[in-house]
Structure formats: C-alpha cells, structure tokens
Amino acid sequence: MQTQKQVAAEHSDDEKYDTEREGENELPEEPEAGRPLNEIWREIQGCNDWEGLLDPMNAHLRREIIRYGEFAQACYDSFDFDPHSRYCGTCKYQGAHFFKKLHMADNGYEISRYLYATSNINLPNFFHKSSLSSVWSTHANWMGYVAVSTNEEEIKRLGRRDIMVAWRGTVTYLEWIYDLKDILCSANFSDDPTVKIELGFHDLYTKKDNDCHYCTYSAREQILSEIKRLVDRYAGEQLSITFTGHSLGAALGLLSAYDTAELKLNTTRDQKIPITVFSFAGPRVGNLKFKERCDELGVKILRITNVHDKVPTVPGIITNEKFQYLKRIEEAISFPWSYAHVGVELQLDHKASPFLLATSDLRCAHNLEAHLHLVDGYHGKGRRFKLATKRDIALVNKDSDFLNKDYNVPPFWKQDENKGMVRGSDGRWAVPHRPRIEAHPPDTAHQLKLVFDKSTTNAHGYSNGNNVSNF
C-alpha cells in the first residue's frame, strides 16, 4: 500500500503537468514578484482589501493563499475519520510531531494548542464518532489548532510573527448543510443584539460539556485564551493574526476572527494587530449587521470560492447581500433568515483547468485541494489557466476523483499505511495505542479572566456583555 508521499512523488514530473506541453507561451512576470513579502505583507494580508492584487493575481498573494490553504488541509489529513477506530474524532498526531507527520516540518510554525468542540449540539452530521464501546471521548471532536511562526528565517520572510488558527471543516459534502436551520441568533459577543449569526455555528463555537474532559471549555474559550496568551507572550513584536478554514471551518474562522476583534485582543499598547481570514468554500455566517460590524472592526476576509460549489450560496439563498432591500428588512423587522457574505471574493471556475474532469459530482466542486489547484493556475479574469507554482496536481485526487484520467492518478489515494495497523512483536496486527493528548493548558482559566477583564469596558464605554461566568 502506498503512502501519501510515495503517490505524490510518482506524479511530480513538472514537464508532464506543465500546460506548456499544449504549446502555450510563457505568461508575463506576475506583478510585484520582485518585491519581497516582508515589504508588502500588510497588503497581502488585506489592509487595502486586496485592491489590485487579484486581477491579475499577485505572485506573493497566490503563494500565501495556497500556504494557508495547506494549513487548513492539514486538519483533514490529520483527522481520524474511521468509525472502526477507538480514536475516531480526534487528531492522529501529537502536537510536537504534527507538521513533521504531514511532511510540513519546514513551514516554520509550531503547534501552540489543539481545539475541541462538543458533539452535543444541533449539527450531528458534522461530528464523527467511533462505533466501538471503548473510545477516547463520546462527547468531543478535534476541531483544529493554533500555531505560531517560530523559525527566525520564516519570521524574517513574512515580515512579522504570525499567529495562525486553522479550523477543521468536513470532507463530506451536504450532510451538515442539511442540518442548518437558517435561524439567526444574537452573537452576544457585545451589547449590540442586532449582530446575529447562524444558530448552528453559534452553538458549535460556544457550547461546552462539563462532563467531557476536552469540552470543559468551549471552542470559543479555548481560542480566545490562546490568542490572549500568545499576544502577551510576543508583546512588542510585529504580529499578525490569521484564521483559515474550509467549508464549515471557514465559517468558524470568520466567527472567531470577529470575536477576537470585538474583544480587542488584537489591540495592544504598541499596535493594532491585523486580523485576516483566508476562507475556502465557506457559507454565509451572519446577517448584514454582522457584516457591517466586521467591516467596522477592520477584520479582513478573502473568500476563495468555486462558482460551481453550492456551499457558499447558503444560508440565505433568497435574502442575502445581493437582495436590494436587505438592509431595510433587517431594520424594519426581526427577520430570522437574512444573511450576508463578508469580505472580498476570489471567484474561481474549475472548468477553466484542463487537468480536471467535467463532472457533476458536487463534492469535487467543494474540494479544498481542488481550490488550491485552481488558485495555482489562476492569473485573472479571462486569462489563460497556467500553473504558476507547479504544485503537484496529484494532490487534487487525495480525497476526490477529479483529475483527468490521462494522468493515471488513483482517486482517493490518501490513506495511512496499512490503514494505521502495526504488526507487534507477537506477530499480530493491531491499531497501536496513541498517547493521551493534553485537553487544555493549565493556564486557560487565567487567560480567560484576562480576556474578559480586558473587554469589560470597550471603546464606547459600555459593558461588553461577555459572560465571565462562562469559565
């Protein structure tokens, strides 16, 4: 059985995958390619809403989108989806070995903490549980991670130290979408009750379970306490806070970015730390007031979408940002199905790639690796598709069947060697025990107290409305 590394290596011949084989000419040098990232990183992070960087596509921005997309993809590659495993629903790897196990050891980041959420919410088809009686947890799922750039060369290249949050989505397609009730609820992250988000996203982010070791703190409390700790730890340095995620993970990335900004965790004595979201195939999260509040707070969101993907069209299929009277409806009545996308959209079309099949399989249109492939070949509206970074196209078929059959890449090839089974000294095959992963750092409660003490009085002078009793 081949490993991920072996399959990718067999299909890494640049000449085979280069569209020059079709007689195409070289594209002109991409704009700003000669300027180092550390000089223009704020623009790449969206300080000017990516004006002039998307059409034509800026070379630095392309690489950053792909890089953050790979951080999001790591959530899928490390997650145990197998219902026959007692560890189903958790991460396969210890934090110290996470990037090494995924062949990402040279990315210059270190895992700071893992994130968990309780499965006792109204999005049952998103969570994965073991069919066995003896499992790691019956109430929790691993949701992603927080990482921070620690390599000095990488920090120099980036122009700052980056605090990065990656949220797990779902590789299954529409099951969790069907569970959305399209009902809005007040976010309750400030004293403005008109800022509303979808109820399922709110529950996933804020609910906790005191009977579960991994969910004694909500996903919200876990992420806020860790961002507070890291911002304090690296006080005085040039920092950025970047969120990334695919599908439902994109929704959680936007929600946690808004929450971080609302609590002013990105505001220190020395600087206002830029907050950016690289969102892949994300649904709408909140109402128009939510969008307007994100804009006021300066949260920058770049939404990477495929025109053939249906997930970014929900919730709010009818009443959304394209509806002329949306603002009037929200102001006149408490309308529970009014949604608006936030940020700038980079819209891609998988039919532009000569490497992909013409298929009606909606899962392919939603696939994250396919999105990263499309980013690699995109140069601007109406411009010819041509791979810029020569990213291995075999990755597209990692968990899909989307590549043209001419490339002889097997579909759904990503799997653990021997499906995780290991032969013991007695000659028997079994899934080895995994070391217990720490649920929460011991200073989580202390950091949360600092979070809500900081936000007790906001810039407008009124109480923020966050419940300190949550922890």
SS (H, E, C) 307-359: CCCCHHHCCCCCCCCCCCCHHHHHHHCCCCCCCECCCEEEEECHHHCCCECCC
Is residue 67 classed exposed, middle or buried when 0-12, 13-18 and 19+ CB atoms within 10 A define those classes?
Answer: middle
Provide the mean pLDDT of the chain.
87
Asked if 75 and 144 count as a contact pair (C-beta separation under 8 A), the reply is yes
| pLDDT score at 325 | 61
Catalytic residue among 139, 202, 246, 366: 366
pLDDT of residue 333: 66
Answer for the pair 135, 65: CB distance below 8 angstroms, yes or no.
Answer: no
Sign of the CA dihedral running 155, 305, 71, 166: positive
413-434: pLDDT as tens digits: 998 888 888 999 999 998 888 8
Please, which residues bridge with residue 163 across strands?
A: 148, 241
Let me know: does 113 contact 145? Beta carbons within 8 Å: yes
Residues found in the chain: 471
Supply φ then ψ for residue 187, to 5 degrees: -65, -35
Measured CA to CA, the distance from residue 126 to residue 207 in angstroms comes to 15
Starting at the earlier edge strand, list the strands of the sheet with 275-280: 109-118, 140-149, 161-167, 239-246, 275-280, 300-306, 344-348
At residue 180, the pLDDT reads: 77
Spans in the chain with pLDDT lower than 50? 1-3, 5-29, 31-32, 457-471
Give the chain's domains with CATH numbers: 53-348+415-454 (3.40.50.1820)
Euclidean distance between CA atoms 316 and 320, whole angstroms? 5
Active-site residue, 463 included:
no
Q: How far apart are CA 441 and CA 447, in angstroms?
A: 10
- Rounded Cα distance between 232 and 413, Å, is 42
Give yes or no: 309 in active site.
yes
Does residue 366 carry a catalytic annotation?
yes
User: For 309-326, how does the pLDDT look when each residue is reduced to its tens digit (9 = 90+)?
Assistant: 999 998 987 677 676 666
User: How is residue 417 written in tokens?
Assistant: 């060697």
Instruction: Give me the pLDDT at residue 59, please.
Output: 96
pLDDT value of position 7: 47
Helix (H, G, I), strand (E, B) or coil at 419: helix
Choice among 309, 376, 392, 399 that is catalytic: 309
Q: Among positive and negative, which fits the CA dihedral 367, 371, 376, 377?
A: positive
Q: Of 130, 190, 240, 247, which is the active-site residue?
A: 247
pLDDT digits (tens, 9 = 90+) for 192-243: 999 999 999 999 999 999 989 999 999 999 999 999 999 999 999 999 999 9
| Residue 191 CA: distances (Å) to CA of 373, 410, 445, 463 | 42, 53, 23, 7
- Distance of alpha carbon 231 from alpha carbon 254, whole angstroms: 19
Nearest alpha-carbon partner for 3 in 424, 398, 321:
398
**CB count in 10 Å sphere of residue 236:** 9
pLDDT of 338 reads 84
Q: pLDDT value at position 175?
A: 65
One-letter amino acid for residue 377 of the chain: G
* Long-range contacts of 5-11, Cβ-Cβ distance < 8 Å, separation of 24 or more: 5/103, 7/394, 7/409, 7/410, 7/413, 7/414, 8/392, 8/394, 8/395, 10/394, 11/392, 11/393, 11/394, 11/407, 11/408, 11/409
| 369-381 tens-digit pLDDT | 999 999 999 999 9
pLDDT at 57: 96
